[in-house]
């Protein structure tokens, strides 16, 4: 008869009893799990992953928006601004009435036309043949110089008639003097009068030519002055025009019509430039040291499902030298990136355009580290961007 030292309730809880109940199959599973655990720990230094800095950002044009601002006030004479309208650089989009300047320009233009006629007529008059004692009429544009030529022609005609009379008197006096019928004093007086008439004829011609030459100089100087004045008026008229400064699309257009009044320095609309699309984001001071120009970046565009459309790729082209205040509680370094392609594609070939104003989550791959290094360095903030950094 066997003697029981311990009750059966106690012996059933011993390691020996438990070990006898474990089957060979359960031991194998246990050993496999233990082996996998040690293998995983041993593989930590051998498994490498990409460490990325993440940041929110927006796609925008490479150029800032161009504001259309009226430099003068007045009523609109032309208004052709429509929301989302495509415009070209130099296109006149609106015009403000400029009655006073326009009237002054019209007066200057009329005077310039008249001066051009004067100058053309004077060129003809100065090149006119004045030999002999008669002046022939020539076609002139301006009535002023038609009258001037007629007056000059009358003076020459009268002087020529006087010369003919004095020439006859001189010839007659010479015959009488040769026949000793008159005294020398009478002959000399007649000769002097005849020579004075000849001199007076030449003087009339020279005086008239000098007058015309001086008038030509005056008209040319006035023409230059009026042209300068016209340039000033043209510059002033440009201030009454709203001109597109770049190619792009109109946004934030005011609801105005022809006849409405606008004020000086009033913002009428904005132009979103048609230039290269860029991505801008702000990187915290903690992570900025890992970024450099030329570094690759992946963009998860919020408008497109990441699992279907994938990511847009690009490169860093500029990193700000100084910190920028993003809002009252956040500051960062402005980082500018370019896109390799301005669209995303899915498996069926459909393209999704990346447009200005879309938001994204940028991933900057800054290092490739082993899992062991990540655990050792305690850099879970790289793997989990939702962790808040100390302010």
Domain residue spans of the chain: 8-43, 48-62+276-383, 66-97+240-272, 99-236
At residue 199, the pLDDT reads 87
Sequence-distant contacts of 310-315: CB under 8 A, at least 24 apart: 310/344, 310/345, 311/344, 311/363, 312/339, 312/340, 312/341, 312/344, 312/354, 312/360, 313/339, 313/340, 313/341, 314/279, 314/338, 314/339, 314/340, 315/340
Three-state DSSP state, 279: strand
Q: Can you tell me the distance from the alpha carbon of 282 to that of 322, in angstroms, rounded to the nearest whole number?
A: 11
Residues 340 and 278 sit within 8 Å (Cβ to Cβ): no
CATH architecture of the domain formed by 48-62+276-383: Beta Barrel (2.40)
Residues 89 and 257 sit within 8 Å (Cβ to Cβ): no
DSSP symbol at 181 = -
The overall average pLDDT reported for the chain is: 83
Of 185 and 370, which is predicted with more confidence?
185
How confident is the model over 150-167, as pLDDT tens digits?
998 888 888 888 888 888
Q: Can you tell me the distance from the alpha carbon of 272 to that of 247, in angstroms, rounded to the nearest whole number?
A: 8
Tokens 């310039």 -> residue: 112
Question: Helices 184-239 and 143-178, interaxial angle, to 10°?
Answer: 170
At residue 300, the pLDDT reads 92
CA distances from 103 to 88, 144, 226 (A): 30, 25, 14
At residue 38, the pLDDT reads 76
How many residues are given for the chain?
391
The class of domain 66-97+240-272 in CATH terms is mainly beta
Tokens 């200057």 -> residue: 108
Total Cβ atoms within 10 A of residue 24: 6
The pTM (predicted TM-score) of the whole model is: 0.54
How confident is the model over 189-214, as pLDDT tens digits?
888 888 888 888 889 889 989 999 99
pLDDT exceeds 90 at position 280: yes
Q: Can you tell me the distance from the alpha carbon of 250 to that of 254, in angstroms, rounded to the nearest whole number?
A: 11
Return the percentage of the chain with pLDDT > 90, whole number: 24
How confident is the model over 285-320, as pLDDT tens digits?
888 888 889 988 999 999 998 888 988 999 999 999
| 162 alpha carbon, distance to own chain's centre | 74
- Facing residues of 69 across strands? 267
Q: Can you tell me the distance from the alpha carbon of 143 to that of 121, in angstroms, rounded to the nearest whole number?
A: 10
pLDDT exceeds 60 at position 389: no
Three-state DSSP state, 25: helix
At residue 197, the pLDDT reads 84
Q: Can you tell me the distance from the alpha carbon of 382 to that of 180, in angstroms, rounded to the nearest whole number?
A: 137
How confident is the model over 223-269, as pLDDT tens digits?
999 999 999 988 888 888 999 988 888 999 999 899 899 999 999 99
């Amino acid at each position: 008869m066997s003697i029981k030292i311990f009750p059966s309730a106690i012996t059933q809880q011993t390691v020996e009893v438990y070990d006898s109940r474990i089957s060979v199959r359960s031991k194998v599973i246990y050993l496999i799990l233990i082996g996998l655990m040690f293998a995983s720990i041993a593989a930590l230094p051998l498994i490498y992953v990409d460490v990325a800095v993440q940041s929110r950002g927006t796609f925008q044009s490479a150029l800032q928006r161009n504001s259309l601002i009226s430099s003068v006030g007045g009523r609109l004479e032309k208004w052709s601004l429509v929301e989302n309208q495509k415009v070209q650089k130099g296109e006149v989009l609106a015009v403000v009435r400029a009655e006073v300047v326009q009237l002054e320009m019209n007066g200057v233009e009329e005077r310039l036309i008249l001066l051009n006629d004067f100058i053309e007529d004077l060129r003809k008059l100065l090149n006119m043949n004045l030999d002999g004692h008669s002046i022939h009429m020539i076609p002139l544009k301006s009535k002023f110089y038609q009258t001037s030529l007629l007056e000059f022609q009358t003076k020459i005609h009268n002087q020529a008639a006087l010369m003919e009379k004095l020439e006859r008197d001189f010839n007659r006096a010479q015959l009488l003097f040769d026949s000793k019928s008159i005294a020398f004093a009478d002959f000399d007086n007649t000769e002097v009068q005849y020579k004075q008439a000849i001199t007076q004829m030449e003087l009339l011609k020279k005086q008239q030519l000098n007058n015309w030459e001086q008038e030509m100089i005056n008209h040319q100087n006035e023409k230059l002055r009026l042209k300068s004045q016209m340039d000033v008026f043209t510059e002033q008229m440009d201030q009454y025009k709203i001109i597109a400064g770049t190619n792009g699309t109109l946004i934030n257009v005011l609801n105005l019509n022809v006849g409405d009044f606008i004020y000086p320095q009033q913002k009428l609309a904005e132009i979103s430039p048609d230039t290269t699309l860029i991505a801008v984001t702000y990187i915290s001071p903690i992570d900025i040291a890992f970024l450099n120009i030329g570094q690759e970046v992946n963009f998860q565009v919020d408008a497109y499902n990441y699992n279907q459309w994938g990511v847009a790729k690009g490169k860093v082209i500029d990193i700000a030298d100084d910190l920028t205040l993003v809002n009252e509680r956040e500051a960062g370094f402005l980082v500018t990136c370019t896109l390799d392609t301005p669209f995303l594609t899915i498996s069926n070939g459909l393209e999704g355009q990346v447009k200005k104003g879309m938001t994204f989550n940028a991933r900057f791959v800054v290092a490739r580290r082993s899992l062991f290094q990540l655990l050792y360095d305690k850099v879970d903030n790289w793997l989990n961007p939702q962790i808040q950094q100390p302010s």
